[in-house]
């Protein structure tokens, strides 16, 4: 396969938490604790997991909003950690993000044309007219009329606003878009439209997506490959089809069980996981999932499982398949 657009190796991000008198005690929240994945050109990687599992921290690291504690992120073969000057700007230009809430990600005081033009103004020295043309182009790409350009964000619905956010992310011939729960805030009917639009854009432009979500159906639909995250680690990862056909990790199985069936009369296995996500401050010993795992064995609380190849492709970190 071709060189990956983005390759993440052993990525860690630990946040210090001070406690005790005068903040002398110090523990670490291991938000991201050794994550590896790669995204290839024109591919969508789905990153799925509960709130607090480190999905958003991972995206922040990729977007250079945080610096990693350890590990590397390589974009088109180059480590992004030490980027400076024009190389940094080239990276900023090639990687964009779409956030969850389309009501706070568009500045209420800027017109749509100025919102979309911003990355172009930063990265190109195009004339006003050329920028205007490009804005019209990307608006059409996302299924909006170019004549909405002079309007303000509050004049649009949630779905339309998310289209504007996508148009902005596309404006600079972007290579990778981080989609941080882009449809979670939208109505179910609008969700499908946006997802289809994203797939269509990927086919015509060859852009890669890192799709972050907690809704299994959506993530499985749009992703080529899926990585399941639990408490800062990837517990299972495989092609979207094989993962859906045969989830192996008990956590993945639980996620599938928790998703709504496609038909109300479908018989569903009751496999809900009990309890809350443990505090990232005091991680469980051994396998991080064992306190909530329905198939936990004695070994699970002692030895942390590593990612092993699955017999049907992909990898899984579980003692059941040792």
Partner 1 sequence: MATIPADTRLAPGRAAAGRLRAVIKAAREAPQAAVVILGGLMLVAIFADLIAPYDPTLPVQGANVFDPPFWMEGGRAMTLLGTDFQGRDILSRLIHGARVSLIVGLMGTLVAGSIGTAMGILSGYVGGWVDQIIMRVTDAWLALPAIVFAIFLAAMVGPSMWNIIIILGAVYWTRYARVIRGEVLTLREREFVKLAEIAGASKWRVIKRHILPNVMNTATVLASLTVGVVIIAEASLSFLGVGVPPPQPAWGLMLSEARSTLMAGQWWLTVFPGLCILLIVLATQLFGDWLRVRLDPQLRNL
Task: Give the interface with partner 1 as residue ranges (CB under 8 A).
Answer: 63-65, 88-89, 92-93, 95-97, 99, 101, 104-111, 115, 118-119, 122-123, 143-145, 147-148, 150-152, 155-157, 159-160, 163, 168, 192-193, 196-197, 199-200
Minimal distance, residue 204 CB to partner 1, in Å: 9
Minimal distance, residue 109 CB to partner 1, in Å: 5
Which position has the token pair 């209420």? 108
Minimal distance, residue 21 CB to partner 1, in Å: 23
Whichever of 102 and 291 has its CB closer to partner 1, that residue is: 102
Whichever of 111 and 246 has its CB closer to partner 1, that residue is: 111
Minimal distance, residue 288 CB to partner 1, in Å: 29
Whichever of 110 and 257 has its CB closer to partner 1, that residue is: 110
Minimal distance, residue 142 CB to partner 1, in Å: 9
Q: Which two tokens stand for residue 50?
A: 């509960």
- Parallel/antiparallel/unpaired status of strands 208-213 and 225-230: unpaired
Minimal distance, residue 199 CB to partner 1, in Å: 8
Angstrom distance (rounded) from CA 48 to CA 207: 20
Minimal distance, residue 107 CB to partner 1, in Å: 4
57, HSE (Cβ side, Cα atoms, 13 Å): 26
Whichever of 68 and 314 has its CB closer to partner 1, that residue is: 68
């Amino acid at each position: 396969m071709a060189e990956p657009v983005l390759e993440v190796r052993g990525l860690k991000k630990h946040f210090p938490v001070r406690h005790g008198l005068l903040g002398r005690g110090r523990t670490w929240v291991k938000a991201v604790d050794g994550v590896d994945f790669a995204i290839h050109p024109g591919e969508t990687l789905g990153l799925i997991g509960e709130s607090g599992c480190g999905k958003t921290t991972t995206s922040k690291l990729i977007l250079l909003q945080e610096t990693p504690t350890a590990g590397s992120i390589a974009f088109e073969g180059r480590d992004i950690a030490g980027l400076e000057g024009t190389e940094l700007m080239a990276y900023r230009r090639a990687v964009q993000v779409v956030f969850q809430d389309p009501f706070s990600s568009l500045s209420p005081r800027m017109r749509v044309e100025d919102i979309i033009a911003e990355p172009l103004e930063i990265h190109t020295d195009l004339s006003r007219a050329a920028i205007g043309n490009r804005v019209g182009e990307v608006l059409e790409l996302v299924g909006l009329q170019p004549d909405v350009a002079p309007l303000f964000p509050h004049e649009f619905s949630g779905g339309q606003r998310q289209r504007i956010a996508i148009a902005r992310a596309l404006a600079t011939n972007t290579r990778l878009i981080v989609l941080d729960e882009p449809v979670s805030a939208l109505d179910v009917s609008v969700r499908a439209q946006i997802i289809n639009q994203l797939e269509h854009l990927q086919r015509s432009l060859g852009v890669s997506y890192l799709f972050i979500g907690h809704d299994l159906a959506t993530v499985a639909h749009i992703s080529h490959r899926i990585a399941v995250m639990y408490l800062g680690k990837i517990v299972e990862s495989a092609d979207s089809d094989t993962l859906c056909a045969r989830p192996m990790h008990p956590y993945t199985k639980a996620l599938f069980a928790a998703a709504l069936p496609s038909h109300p009369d479908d018989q569903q296995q009751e496999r809900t996981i009990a309890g809350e996500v443990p505090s990232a401050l005091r991680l469980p010993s051994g396998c991080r999932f064992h306190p909530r795992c329905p198939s936990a064995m004695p070994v699970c609380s002692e030895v942390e499982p590593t990612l092993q190849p699955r017999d049907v492709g992909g990898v899984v970190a579980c003692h059941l398949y040792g």
